[in-house]
Structure 1
Amino acid sequence: MVSDTLTRKLDLTFRHLDANGDGVISDDDAAGLVTRMLTAFGESETSPKGSALVSSMQSYWEFLLSHADTNGDGVVDPAEFRTAMVKAYVKNDKGYQQAFAPVAAATVHLADVDNSGAVSLEEFELVQKAFNNPVENTREGFAKLDRNGDGKLSVEEYLLAIREFYTSDDPDATGNWLFGQV
């Protein structure tokens, strides 16, 4: 059984991916998120950071689709998405490490524009914009995720937040603030 907290987070994730709002996620939606992220950071899909994001998102999408598309129609609806995310990543650390962790790392490294090993509030806001997340959620989320209070998210803090957001049932997990209050 999946908690209400995790269900809300997965439903929000579905809305982030469903770029055209048609109620399903397709190849085009996954590619659209990559395009929004690359555009937000002014990266080409052939740059090292862009290439890492493109290839990791493609692997994530293929892995998710293999677990989610139970009727073979090439798209994923909200129920399929929830079930697949739990099966493929929440209850499967190997799946998380294989397909989700690389896209999380590529996202964080893309956001670390100056290669400082940390993400500033401004860089974090660009990620949030690419995910179509309302800006009012950004600052409070950033402050909560900045566990050591140094005004930036280390790569480790950011990756931990991503993992907690997408896999934790704990309603008090700090990572729940990845996209603001859920």
Structure 2
Amino acid sequence: MAITLVRLGIRSISLNLERSAALVSTSTHNQVKLLHTKPVCNGSVCFLQEKQRECDLTEQMSSLRRSYSKQHGRPEENRRKQQSDSESDSDSDTECKGFDRSEFWRRKMRTVHNILDIDKDGLISFNDFALFAERFKSLGHLDEQQAKEFSDIIKLTWEEQWGAVDPYNFVTVEQYLEDMHHVLNDKTLKKKAHRWLPYLFKAVDKDKSGFISVKEFKLFFECLGLDNEHAAVAFAVIDTNGDGKLSMKEFVKLGKDFFFTEDEAKVSKMFWGPLIEV
């Protein structure tokens, strides 16, 4: 009997300790949760930082893609240079990549992402990228050598910026924003970015005059999936000298400036058509 009572006493003590541990664990978990979801108060109103939630989601997506690239593509360190080689123009270390640029710049990047998303599933895959190139090649104005060079550059650009040529390797809007932010902050990547622009020019230069007329610029917009009305308006704006034509140098500069500048006064904002509404 004495032994039984002792066993019951020990069991009772054990159960009490387990309950206490559970309470302490729950309390600690709640405190940690509160720590990570600390609200920001403005006067009498308190709210959670939605921007931080976006950053967290972006980082999670980036981690998944980096993991995928390591397993199925080239090692991440070969795909990107070390951050120490980058030239960052951000004054804040509290922002996630791509979010410390202006909303105007982000709208422009979303616009291009939407254009490159040929099947409109919200993601860019290498298949989208290849179909984008095929639209221009199908015009029939590139010779065989130019068409091959164009395809090779499209493939190389994909591999350098986004890794493996694989149907399951895709680029979300958030990832595109981050990647383009990275490109602008890296001298080497910035020089090589959008080197396929001259081939877009050659593809729509129907008469091979070395200049693009408004009629040929409409072909460009047609390949982007945009209508002629937008093309006429855009051409009128970007043809700053009013000579009714664009040289390859002008065309390429406008195309690159669209990605590089955050100045809303630049006419290059019209180059890829109407900016997407957010």
Question: Match for residue 129 of structure 1?
Answer: 222
| SS across alignment from 2:171 | coil
Structure 2 distance, partners of 1:98, 1:171, is 24
Contact 2:122 2:173 in 1 (8 A): yes
Identity among equivalent positions (%) equals 24
CA distance in 2, matches of 1:126, 1:79: 30
Q: Partner of 1:49 in structure 2?
A: 146
**Is contact 1:140-1:180 (8 Å) kept?**
no
CA deviation vs aligned residue, 1:130-150 (integer Å, no higher than 9, x gap): 111232211111111112110
Measured in 1, the distance between the counterparts of 2:202 and 2:146 equals 7
Once the two structures are TM-superposed, the CA of residue 171 in structure 1 deviates from its matched residue by 0.8
Quick one: structure 1 residues 27 and 57, their matched pair in 2 at CA, closer, same or farther if it must change by over 3 Å? same
Aligned partner of 1:32 in structure 2 is: 131
Alignment partner, residue 167 of structure 1: 260
Contact 1:43–1:50 (8 Å) recurs in 2: no
What's the Cα RMSD here?
1.8
> Aligned residue pairs: how many?
173
CA distance in 1, matches of 2:251, 2:262: 18
Match of 1:97 among 191, 202, 215: 191
TM-score with structure 1 setting the length: 0.87
Distance 2:243 2:122 in 1: 39
Query: What CA distance in whole angstroms lies between the structure 2 residues aligned with 1:9 and 1:99?
Result: 16
Asked if the contact 1:56–1:99 (Cα under 8 Å) also holds between the matched residues in 2, the reply is no
Determine whether 1:3 maps to 2:102. Answer: yes
Unaligned runs of 5+ in 1: none
Question: Deviation at 1:49?
Answer: 2.6
How do 1:100-111 and structure 2 match up within 5 A? 100=194, 102-111=195-204
3-state SS in 2 of match to 1:61: helix
Structure 1 Cα separation of the partners of residues 243 and 233 of structure 2: 15
The answer to whether structure 1 residue 58 and structure 2 residue 133 are counterparts is no
3-state SS of 2:235 partner:
helix
Contact 1:141 1:178 survives alignment (8 Å): yes
1-structure distance, mates of 2:250, 2:148: 23
Aligned partners of 1:115 and 1:43: how far apart in 2? 8
Deviation at 1:43, TM superposition (A): 4.5
C-alpha distance in 1 between matches for 2:133 and 2:210: 21
Alpha-carbon distance in 2 for matches of 1:136, 1:179: 13
Distance in 2 separating the partners of 1:18 and 1:138: 20
Give the aligned residue type for 1:3.
S
Secondary structure of 2:106 counterpart? helix
Aligned partners of 2:118 and 2:132 also within 8 Å: yes
Match of 2:246 in 1: 153
User: Which residue type is aligned with residue 167 of structure 1?
Assistant: F
In 2, distance between residues paired with 1:163 and 1:99?
8
Equivalent position amino acid for 1:86 in 2: H
Contact 1:164 1:174 in 2 (8 A): no
